[in-house]
Amino acid sequence: MNICPKCGLSRELCVCETIAKEEQYISVKTVKRRFGKLTTVIEGIDPKDINIKDLAKSLKSKLACGGTVKGGKIELQGDHVQKVKEELVKIGFTHVK
């Protein structure tokens, strides 16, 4: 039986990631890159609590765009600010601006 080192509950009952999602303040903005291309940047996700690469992968597949993870930020190609905010709220993040 696997036990979570943070909360002491079994892995099936562990609520650490849910609590971490509710505590984080995430900002989503658009940045203009070279040649006038727009990039959506998602900041404020703590990589210690949440697997940022998996989150980026799921956002890229849902939004049908390319992207990467750089320096604790998720960068998505194109202007997806409103859609990203909606997806993050669906996933369980509460403080998205």
Give the mean pLDDT of the chain: 89
Q: In one letter, which amino acid is 59?
A: L
Predicted confidence at residue 9, as pLDDT, reads 81
Domains of the chain, residue spans: 25-96
Reference 51, options 67, 28, 74, 81; nearest CA is 74
For CA atoms 13, 60, 45, 23, give the dihedral sign: negative
Q: What is the pLDDT of residues 35-53, one digit of tens each?
A: 999 999 999 988 887 889 9
pLDDT digits (tens, 9 = 90+) for 50-78: 889 999 999 999 999 999 999 999 999 99
- Decide if domain 25-96 falls under CATH 3.30.780.10: yes
For 40-71, give one letter per residue: b (16+ CB within 10 A) or e: bbbeebeeeebebeebbeebbeebebebebee
How far apart (Å, rounded) are the C-alpha atoms in residues 48 and 7?
Answer: 15
Lowest mean per-residue pLDDT among 14-18, 55-59, 62-66, 84-88? 14-18
